[in-house]
Structure 1
Amino acid sequence: MHNHGAVGLPLGFTLLRLILLGAVTVVAGWALVRPFAPTTSGLSTRRVVTGSAGIGGVVVLLIAEASWLPPLAAVALIGLLAVPPAVRAERPVLGRLVVAVAVLATVAAGTWFSGPPSSFAYITLMAAFVGVSWLVLCPPTATVRVVGAALGVTLLAGLGQVTIAGQLATPATGDPLLTRVALGGETVDVLVVPHMPGWNVVQTTDTPLSVGNAPNALVPALPRDGTTGRWALVWLPEGRSDLWLDRSGTRTTVPVNTGTVAWSGPDVRGPEGPDYASAVLAAKLTGKRGDLPWPGLTDSDAAALRAEVASIGGPFAVVADGSRRAAEAAEVVRDEAARLGFAVTPGAPEVLVLGGTPPPDARSRLAPWLTPPDLTTPEGSRYARTLSAAFPGATPSRAGLAAWSG
Structure 2
Amino acid sequence: MHNHGAVGLPLGFTLLRLILLGAVTVAAGWALVRPFAPAASGAVTRRVVTGAAGVGGVVVLLIAEATWMPSLAAVALIGLLAVPPALRRDRPVVAALVVAAAVLATVAAGAWFSGPPSSFAYIALMAAFVGVSWLALCPPTALVRVVGAALGVALLAGLGQVTVTGQLTTPAAGDPLLTRVALGGGPVDLLVVPHMPGWNIVHTTDVPLSVGNAPNALVPALPRDGTTGRWALVWLPEGRGDLWLDRGGARTTVPVDTGDVAWTGPDVRGPEGPDYASAVLAAKLTGRRGDLPWPALTEADAAALRAEVAAIGGPFSVVADGSRRAAEAMEVVRAEATRLGHAVTPGSSEVLVLGGTPPPGARHHPAPWLVPPDLTTPGARRYAETLSAAFPGATPSRSGLAAWSG
| TM-score normalised according to structure 2 size | 0.98
Query: Which residue in 2 is equivalent to 1:36?
Result: 36
Query: Displacement, 1:290?
Result: 6.2
Question: Greater shift after overlay, 93-102 or 322-331?
Answer: 93-102
Task: Please say if residues 178 and 191 of structure 2, whose CA atoms lie closer than 8 Å, have aligned partners that are also in contact.
Answer: yes
Aligned AA for 1:143?
Answer: L
Query: Displacement, 1:40?
Result: 0.6
C-alpha distance after superposition, 1:67-98 (max 9, x if no partner): 11110110010011011111111111134214
CA distance in 1, matches of 2:33, 2:356: 66
Query: Displacement, 1:388?
Result: 1.1
Query: Which residue in 1 is equivalent to 2:341?
Result: 341
Extract unaligned runs of 5+ from structure 2.
none
Task: Please say if residues 271 and 322 of structure 1, whose CA atoms lie closer than 8 Å, have aligned partners that are also in contact.
Answer: yes
CA distance in 1, matches of 2:5, 2:378: 33
Q: How does 1:274-353 map to 2 (within 5 A)?
A: 274-289=274-289, 291-353=291-353
CA distance in 1, matches of 2:113, 2:332: 56
Extract unaligned runs of 5+ from structure 1.
none
Task: Please say if residues 353 and 367 of structure 1, whose CA atoms lie closer than 8 Å, have aligned partners that are also in contact.
Answer: yes
Q: How does 1:137-148 map to 2 (within 5 A)?
A: 137-148=137-148
Q: How does 1:117-156 map to 2 (within 5 A)?
A: 117-156=117-156
CA distance in 1, matches of 2:356, 2:114: 40
Query: Which residue in 1 is equivalent to 2:199?
Result: 199
Task: Please say if residues 175 and 194 of structure 1, whose CA atoms lie closer than 8 Å, have aligned partners that are also in contact.
Answer: yes
**Is 1:87 paired with 2:84?**
no
Q: How does 1:155-194 map to 2 (within 5 A)?
A: 155-194=155-194
Question: Greater shift after overlay, 249-258 or 339-348?
Answer: 339-348
Query: Which residue in 2 is equivalent to 1:255?
Result: 255
Question: Greater shift after overlay, 259-268 or 53-62?
Answer: 259-268
Task: Please say if residues 76 and 103 of structure 2, whose CA atoms lie closer than 8 Å, have aligned partners that are also in contact.
Answer: no
Task: Please say if residues 213 and 244 of structure 1, whose CA atoms lie closer than 8 Å, have aligned partners that are also in contact.
Answer: yes
CA distance in 2, matches of 1:172, 1:289: 9
> Structure 1 119/285 Cα, relative in aligned 2: closer, same or farther at 3 Å?
same
Task: Please say if residues 77 and 103 of structure 2, whose CA atoms lie closer than 8 Å, have aligned partners that are also in contact.
Answer: no
Query: Displacement, 1:5?
Result: 4.1
Query: Which residue in 2 is equivalent to 1:222?
Result: 222
The total of aligned residue pairs comes to: 406
Task: Please say if residues 219 and 232 of structure 1, whose CA atoms lie closer than 8 Å, have aligned partners that are also in contact.
Answer: yes
**Is 1:267 paired with 2:267?**
yes
Query: Which residue in 1 is equivalent to 2:386?
Result: 386
C-alpha distance after superposition, 1:345-365 (max 9, x if no partner): 111111111000011211111
Query: Displacement, 1:105?
Result: 3.0
Q: How does 1:229-244 map to 2 (within 5 A)?
A: 229-244=229-244
CA distance in 1, matches of 2:237, 2:275: 24
> Structure 1 98/35 Cα, relative in aligned 2: closer, same or farther at 3 Å?
farther
Query: Displacement, 1:113?
Result: 2.8
Aligned AA for 1:226?
Answer: G
CA distance in 2, matches of 1:32, 1:290: 45
Query: Displacement, 1:244?
Result: 0.5
CA distance in 1, matches of 2:378, 2:94: 68
CA distance in 2, matches of 1:143, 1:95: 15
Query: Which residue in 1 is equivalent to 2:213?
Result: 213
RMSD: 1.1
CA distance in 1, matches of 2:110, 2:10: 31
Q: How does 1:72-111 map to 2 (within 5 A)?
A: 72-111=72-111
Query: Displacement, 1:107?
Result: 2.1
C-alpha distance after superposition, 1:280-330 (max 9, x if no partner): 111111122363111011111111111111111111111110000011111
Task: Please say if residues 212 and 219 of structure 1, whose CA atoms lie closer than 8 Å, have aligned partners that are also in contact.
Answer: yes
Query: Which residue in 1 is equivalent to 2:23?
Result: 23
Aligned AA for 1:94?
Answer: V
Query: Which residue in 2 is equivalent to 1:69?
Result: 69
| TM-score normalised according to structure 1 size | 0.98
Q: Helix, strand or coil: the match of 2:226?
A: coil
Q: Which runs of 4+ in 1 moved over 6 A?
A: none
Q: Helix, strand or coil: the match of 1:113?
A: helix
Task: Please say if residues 200 and 236 of structure 1, whose CA atoms lie closer than 8 Å, have aligned partners that are also in contact.
Answer: yes
CA distance in 1, matches of 2:49, 2:211: 41
Aligned AA for 2:287?
Answer: G
Q: Helix, strand or coil: the match of 1:383?
A: helix
Aligned AA for 1:101?
Answer: A
Query: Displacement, 1:201?
Result: 0.6
Q: Helix, strand or coil: the match of 2:81?
A: helix
Aligned AA for 2:311?
Answer: S
Task: Please say if residues 213 and 244 of structure 2, whose CA atoms lie closer than 8 Å, have aligned partners that are also in contact.
Answer: yes
Task: Please say if residues 171 and 256 of structure 2, whose CA atoms lie closer than 8 Å, have aligned partners that are also in contact.
Answer: yes
CA distance in 2, matches of 1:165, 1:288: 24
Query: Which residue in 2 is equivalent to 1:401?
Result: 401
Q: Helix, strand or coil: the match of 2:297?
A: coil
Identity of aligned residues (%): 85
Task: Please say if residues 94 and 135 of structure 1, whose CA atoms lie closer than 8 Å, have aligned partners that are also in contact.
Answer: no
